[in-house]
Amino acid sequence: MKMKKVKHVFQISRYVEYIDHGKMKPGILLMQYYTDSVDAILQHYKNTQTSYCYLLDDNSAFLYHPFMQRISSDLYKERTINIALNCTNYKIHKFQGTKWLIERQQIGYTDWNIVLVSSLFNIHTENISVYYVVWIILLMVGIFLVFMDILLFHEFTNPVYRLLNTMREFGKGNYQAKAEENGIGELKILSAHFNIMAEKLQKQMDEIRNNEREQRKMEKKLLQSQINPHFLYNTLDSIIWMIQGGEYKGAEQMVSLLAKFFRISLSQGQDIIPLKKELEHATSYLSIQNIRFKDKFDFSVQADENLLQYLCPKLSIQPLLENAIYHGMEGIYDDGEIQISIYEKNSLIHIDVIDNGLGMPPETIEYIMHNKVVSSKRGSGIGVRNVDERIKLIFGNAYGVVITSELDEGTTASIIIPKIKKVEDIGY
């Protein structure tokens, strides 16, 4: 029976993990290298008794020997193994009356050793061929190992760099960035956990933004809802007195103005309205108060028509007018003047409420702007400070109300807002 030739094969394996349909699965990366080509080279020299080489693995077992069959049959014993392993590079050893040159070379970082045994008698004739064999083997093994090293290096490092780039993008604020869940072993797990963390953080950021948005809306609603009914009560009382006094035309006019005033105040639940509507609301209020106070003051409006299309927080001008009437006009019995001026300055909208009243000292202005204004029978209770807070909540801290005043010279309260035409542009 013809014996089947046994092939030698070198195997390198590594444990890996991969994701299949969203689930982590284990696996083995196996690479095999058959030694047929190496055997073919080494077989050419196996019959040379005075010069041969053999290959040892990391356990000092034969991977190749020209006399392997005889060694297996205990007909031959290789006596140079210990000598070769104990020498640094080469050693000359004498046995059976002959000097032998024993050379050992470790192959890379494999812990494999190739050993050359040559009789000094014919070393000059056979040494060159053996060296060729050695270097060919070393070259082939080296190429194989370099290939494996590059393969495993890129398999490991590329996912690391991709994960680092994803982390950098996430750190810059791109919360949509996701890591590729590939790589070997722990890298896949790390990428998967990073994505889980990023998703949770994204949800938390969305919740924080939504909470902040709702909080801002509630604060604006609260500030706006602080109108008390005293203005309505006083106006209705004035209407009743006019009717009782036979001033029907004046009563009719006040009813019409009051209806217009509250129609704009409601504005179908809108908090941001065109500046034109806000100006109509302010003039309705001034007209009502002018009738109530028997023309104690005159008022005028100067407005840039091109600015009236832009948006303005509802009930912004009226509290400033209220302050001018009840405080600015205090002590003035005639010739009181209130002016509303709307103009553009530095690409911003300025709404000035100007009175020629008694004016205020700086400490009074400071109190108005930085202390809570409580409602009273004389005013609405929103107050100038509340208008300032609402504007800042809507547009930002760069905007709001500014008061300038001089004693006996009057007061100017200025509303400063940006030029915005759409509610969507506010982020409201």
Looking at residues 18-29, what average pLDDT do you find? 68
Whether the pLDDT of residue 223 is over 60: the answer is no
- In this predicted structure, what is the pLDDT of residue 376? 44
What's the predicted TM-score (pTM) here?
0.48
The letter for the amino acid at 143 is I
Q: Quick one: pLDDT band at residue 42, thresholds 50, 70, 90?
A: low
Take residue 410 and report the two structure tokens written for it: 């009057």
Strands 410-417 and 400-406: antiparallel
Burial call 269-282: b when 16+ CB within 10 Å, e when fewer: eebbbbbbbbbbbb
In 3D space, the residue among 71, 27, 80 whose CA is nearest the CA of residue 53 turns out to be 80
The H-or-E segment that residue 410 falls in is strand 410-417
pLDDT tier for residue 215 given thresholds of 50, 70 and 90: low
User: 226-425 is classed in which CATH architecture?
Assistant: 2-Layer Sandwich (3.30)
pLDDT at residue 419 above 90? yes
pLDDT digits (tens, 9 = 90+) for 77-106: 888 888 888 888 788 888 777 788 888 888
How does residue 380 score in pLDDT terms, banded at 50, 70 and 90?
Answer: very low
- pLDDT score, position 311: 92
Q: How confident is the model at residue 418 (pLDDT cuts 50, 70, 90)?
A: very high
Q: Is the predicted pLDDT of residue 375 greater than 50, yes or no?
A: no
For residues 285 and 277, the answer to whether their CB atoms sit within 8 Å is no
CA–CA separation, 115 and 90 (whole Å): 9
pLDDT of residue 164 exceeding 60, the answer is yes
Cβ neighbours of residue 190 closer than 8 Å, sequence gap 6 or more: 163
Q: Are residues 28 and 14 in contact, defined by beta-carbon separation less than 8 angstroms?
A: yes
Residue 340, Ramachandran bin (φ over 0: left; ψ between -120 and 50: alpha; else beta): beta
Least confident of 277-286, 346-355, 362-371: 362-371
Give the mean pLDDT of the chain.
Answer: 75
Mean pLDDT of 147-175: 65
Domain ranges of the chain: 9-171, 226-425
| Reported confidence tier of residue 352, pLDDT bands at 50, 70, 90 | very high
Which DSSP string do the residues of 222-239 spell out, in sequence order?
HHHTT--THHHHHHHHHH
pLDDT tens digit sequence for 108-121: 667 788 888 888 77
Query: Which CATH fold topology does 9-171 show?
Result: Beta-Lactamase (3.30.450)
